[in-house]
Amino acid sequence: MSKNNLNIKFDPTKGIVPNLGGAYFSEYQKAMIDPEAYYGDIAKKALYWKRPWSKYVEYKDPIHKFFVGGLTNYTYWFDIHENSWTRNKLAYIWEGEPTDDKGNPLEIRRFTYDEMWRSINRFSKALLDLGIKKGDRIGIYMPMIPEALIAAFAAVRIGAIHVIVFSGFGAEALANRLADSKSRILITADGGYRRGKFIDLKSTADKAFEKVPTLEKMIVVNRSGRKIDMRQGRDLAFDELMASAPSNAYVEPTWLEANEPVYIVYTSGTVGKPKGIVHTSTHYVWLWANMYWAFDLNEHNVKKDVWFFTGDFGWAGGHFFTIYTPPMFGLTAVFYEGAPDTPAPDRYWSIVDRYGVTVLYTSPTAVRMFMSQGDHWVKKHDLSTLRILGSVGEPLNAEAWKWFYEVVGKGRLPIIDTYGQTETIVPIFPPYGIDKIPLKPGSATVPLPAIEADVVDEDGKSIRGEKGYLVYKIPFKAPTIFLTMWGDTDNFGKPDWVGDPALVKATYYERFPGYYYTGDAALIDEDGYFWLLGRADDTLKIAGHRLGTAEIENAFLMHPAVGEAAVVGKPDQLRGEVAVAFIVLRPGFSASPELAKELKESVKKALGPIVVVDKVFFVSKIPKNRSGKVLRRVVRALVRSENYGDVSTIDDSSSIDEIKKALDSGGY
């Protein structure tokens, strides 16, 4: 895996480099020469088209539309399975968090493709009977349970737009998203289980409902079997609605033009409120290509694959990889309700072992957490069914990559380190379904066919071998980009509706003219491989030198004692800012002044003497959200004695107390 064995030399600023060679070169070249033919062929594999498109791409700054005029509906995949050998194949296996005293799950539910098809049709009929129609927004605020999948698919089938809100959000955050989208109904549950506790969602939903004037009804799933406080005339039981629809109900899919919205994903941003990213059916085409190439989902593999993506539905990854990837390939997918370390740190490994998982797709933070807990949790389980490993969400540092490769993959499995965003899914990763290119620990490798990725400096000039800003040349040739940001609601449904193009332009296209700006920092090495370095605005300025927190964290993670690291900046009169580090040690290492000094020196050695680490704090856990991302905002606020604001997305609230205690200790 050393860089000396690389044979890829790709420079996106010069187009195709003639001496690249191999299948990757061939595919990239084909896509660049004729993207319409290339992605047109893929579109026919990704979706059933009731009516073919009349135009491949239409670009009116800053809005991209693809497969213009084509009519489709994603949920027709279930009709295809209903008339195929996959009809009785397992589609989804759900595991609840509660276990017995031996760690065995108390709840496992299995759904064949036929059972999913029937459930989707019945709930679609129930929604239609409630008066829900094409274009209406449906809020979904649910734990990781099967009814959430059924609700999402049913919304798409009738042409409604689902708005899935992360179940860790509080009433205010939920209400903001439902109000912005002007949702008509809210689908929720009494609650769900997390770290051995029952988390009440219904009362939060009740509070949010009162703040959203467009909401008419609330549909409630009884997850726990407990008595639920139902508001007469407003609240409806999910089970009763399902029972009201005939068991043989069939709802014809509402055929959607390829650029009509199918769902809105709200993501954080710098615009003062969450951004409503609008996705259309064109994105399913890109998702199909992404997953086919990333995990080599060829006809042979998908017949036996058991897919396990560990992220939550409430985030974009859960939409892409748990809800929408499996049906397109006829996969059997596992999804899990609770925390990865409940009742013990081997929950994910027990799931892999129990169901014979072949594809494990998780987050770098989860990998680092498992690494910090010790190899023995992994080694007690049979992971021999795994054939490929994946990572998404943030950069996977080299040390965590190597641990994932050696301990989980036993030195035999490729690691597909995928880079992407809510807006674009994953445009950069090792495309193993195309070519088994050499891998570099810590690098997301290369852009996908027709993705013209580059790294530029402050002036928008292409640079190599140094940190800059990751951008994509526009207009896009591949159907990777979202349609718009939600807005102009009063005109929604009119043929010329395009949301909020002014906000789209200001957010993504004005910083570097001629490019889409990702907001991420990156580097392209001498072999054309991309290295992602975290958010470009997540930086420290030490004595006039700007450094990314991810760079400093990676320097800590290179030390064998370090399992996890979170770095934030602290004001300093002399240097402007200095780094403060919170470190989770790997098993076998103990906190000491000597180790803290050694870690500080190792960072200086890796990054240079300009990096001043003021304090090192040893902790047992770091604040993260449920998708595994470190909540640096919270850590930074605690270090600076500021209000850390809403922490409803936090995975383990005791991690805040851990940081507070560490700060009180004074550190090293």
**Does residue 121 sit within a domain?**
yes
Q: What is the rounded CA–CA span in Å between residue 564 and residue 292?
A: 31
pLDDT digits 0-9 by tens, 478-496: 999 999 999 999 999 998 9
**Domain enclosing residue 656, as ranges:** 538-665
The model's confidence at residue 612, banded by pLDDT at 50, 70 and 90, is confident
Contact at 8 Å (CB) between 164 and 188?
no
Question: For tokens 């399992």, what's the residue?
Answer: 563
3-state secondary structure of 30: helix
Residue 596 sits in a domain of what CATH number? 3.30.300.30
pLDDT digits 0-9 by tens, 316-331: 999 999 999 999 999 9
Q: Does residue 555 carry a pLDDT above 50?
A: yes
The model's confidence at residue 15, banded by pLDDT at 50, 70 and 90, is very low
Task: Return the pLDDT at 270.
Answer: 43
Q: Does residue 145 carry a pLDDT above 60?
A: yes
DSSP secondary structure string for all residues of 211-265:
T-TT--EEEEE-SS-----PPTTTEEEHHHHHHHS-TT-------EETTSEEEEE
pLDDT digits 0-9 by tens, 38-84: 999 999 999 999 999 999 999 999 999 999 999 999 999 999 999 99
Task: Return the pLDDT at 211.
Answer: 96
**Does residue 623 sit within a domain?**
yes
- Fill in the amino acid letter for 599: L
**Does residue 575 sit within a domain?**
yes
Q: Does residue 370 carry a pLDDT above 50?
A: yes
- Fill in the amino acid letter for 174: L
Q: Does residue 1 carry a pLDDT above 60?
A: no
* pTM (2 d.p.): 0.88
Task: Return the pLDDT at 507.
Answer: 93
- pLDDT exceeding 70 applies to what percent of the chain? 96
Instruction: Provide mean pLDDT across the span 132-158.
Output: 98
**Does residue 209 sit within a domain?**
yes
Q: What is the rounded CA–CA span in Å between residue 127 and residue 121?
A: 10
Looking at 226, 257, 288, which one is the last position of a domain?
257
Which residues, including other chains, have CB under 8 Å from residue 662's CB and lie 6 or more apart? 582, 617, 618, 619
DSSP secondary structure string for all residues of 560-602:
TTEEEEEEEEEEETTTEEEEEEEEEEPTT----HHHHHHHHHH
Q: What is the rounded CA–CA span in Å between residue 629 and residue 641?
A: 22
Tally helices (H) and strands (E) across the chain. Answer: 21, 33
**Does residue 213 sit within a domain?**
yes
Task: Return the pLDDT at 544.
Answer: 66
The least confident of 227-231, 579-583, 607-611, 653-657 is 607-611
The model's confidence at residue 9, banded by pLDDT at 50, 70 and 90, is very low
**Does residue 445 sit within a domain?**
no
Torsion over CA: 302, 304, 310, 314 (sign): positive
The model's confidence at residue 268, banded by pLDDT at 50, 70 and 90, is low
Residue 217 sits in a domain of what CATH number? 3.40.50.980
Q: Does residue 12 carry a pLDDT above 60?
A: no
Instruction: Provide mean pLDDT across the span 601-628.
Output: 87
CA nearest neighbour of 44 among 433, 330, 328, 428: 328
pLDDT digits 0-9 by tens, 163-173: 999 998 888 88
The least confident of 60-74, 384-398, 566-580 is 566-580
Count the Cβ atoms, other than its own, within 10 Å of residue 562.
24
Which residues, including other chains, have CB under 8 Å from residue 331's CB and lie 6 or more apart? 91, 297, 302, 305, 306, 307, 325
Angle at 209 between CA 203 and CA 215, to 5 degrees: 145
> For the chain, how many structural domains are there in total?
2
**Does residue 471 sit within a domain?**
no
Higher pLDDT, 538 or 109: 109
Which residues, including other chains, have CB under 8 Å from residue 192's CB and lie 6 or more apart? 97, 142, 143, 144, 145, 167, 198, 199, 201, 223, 337, 338
Arithmetic mean of pLDDT over the chain? 92
Instruction: For residue 11, give both structure tokens.
Output: 């420079």
**Does residue 339 sit within a domain?**
no
Looking at 197, 224, 257, which one is the last position of a domain?
257
Task: Return the pLDDT at 310.
Answer: 96
Looking at 257, 274, 292, which one is the last position of a domain?
257
CA 530 vs CA 76, 218, 422, 522, 576: distances in Å: 37, 46, 19, 7, 31
Instruction: Provide mean pLDDT across the span 191-197.
Output: 95
The model's confidence at residue 302, banded by pLDDT at 50, 70 and 90, is very high
Q: What is the rounded CA–CA span in Å between residue 134 and residue 342?
A: 41
Which residues, including other chains, have CB under 8 Å from residue 284's CB and lie 6 or more apart? 46, 47, 74, 324, 328
